[in-house]
Amino acid sequence: MSEAHRKRESVIDLAGERKAEPSRPNSPAGPPDEVLVMAAQAGDRNAFEQLVIRYQDRIFNLCHRKLGCREDAFEASQETFLRAYRAIGNFAGQARFYTWLFRIALNCAFSRRKRRTRRRSVIAGSLEHPEGADGAGLQEPVAPGDGPLARVVRHEEGAVIAQAIASLPPLYHDIVLLRDIEGMSYEDIAETLEIPLGSVKSRLHRARLQLRDKLMGYVRED
């Protein structure tokens, strides 16, 4: 099954079986999040599945931009909705549902990236000090011409910008993703990251200055 098709499946599996229901674009039609959340808290699994359908593309895209790998993004997205489903009863409405969900997604993506980094460290260590003949097969192949210059040529400005954003410190990376990619308001970002509004604005300003230096003409600060 192709990754594109897998992305279009519902990323939550509440009953142990993945349902191949296509996602739909976000739309103002249908019950508001608050109504669906209350229904889900009352045990209506269909209400929660509607929330999944409403947000699965945005969560996948956020995880993909955070991780840079479609497979990891798919797994992080699935973990996000599973965590949200298990915790929905504790959601008290002090934050908006989607900022609460985005916070879970960022945490899941961060955790997956840490596990991936640890796994690569273990693999690198086993290659440096092999215990047997099987160690050599653990190294990930590197595609020819996959260096920075090749990526610039292949993906042009989009890849250059994505790479620059990915290289930002975590303190700035998430704010740029949420503001400049997801288009979230300063207030929603503050709610998602649980930081003061002033910190959002100051960190975003510093992040954009760093991006300007990294990209040298690819982006401009608004």
Helix 45-67 to helix 70-87 angle (10° resolution) is: 140
- Six-digit token pair at 155? 């993906």
Q: How much is the mean pLDDT over the chain?
A: 76
Rounded Cα distance between 49 and 13, Å, is 10
Whether pTM exceeds 0.85 = no
Residues 109-147 have pLDDT tens digits of: 999 878 766 555 444 444 454 444 333 333 333 344 445
Residues 195-210 have pLDDT tens digits of: 999 999 999 999 999 9
Where exactly are the structural domains of the chain?
Answer: 3-111, 147-214
Q: Residue 149: pLDDT above 70?
A: no
- Six-digit token pair at 29? 């039609």
- Six-digit token pair at 18? 């993945």
Architecture of domain 3-111: Orthogonal Bundle (1.10)
Report which residue type is found at 112: R
Q: Does domain 147-214 have CATH number 1.10.10.10?
A: yes
Which of 187, 207, 184 is closest to 198 using CA atoms?
A: 187
Q: Residue 38: pLDDT above 90?
A: yes
Note whether 50 and 31 are within 8 A (CB).
yes
Q: Is 63 left (phi over 0), alpha (psi -120 to 50) or beta?
A: alpha
Q: Exposed/middle/buried for 196, CB within 10 Å: 0-12, 13-18, 19+?
A: exposed
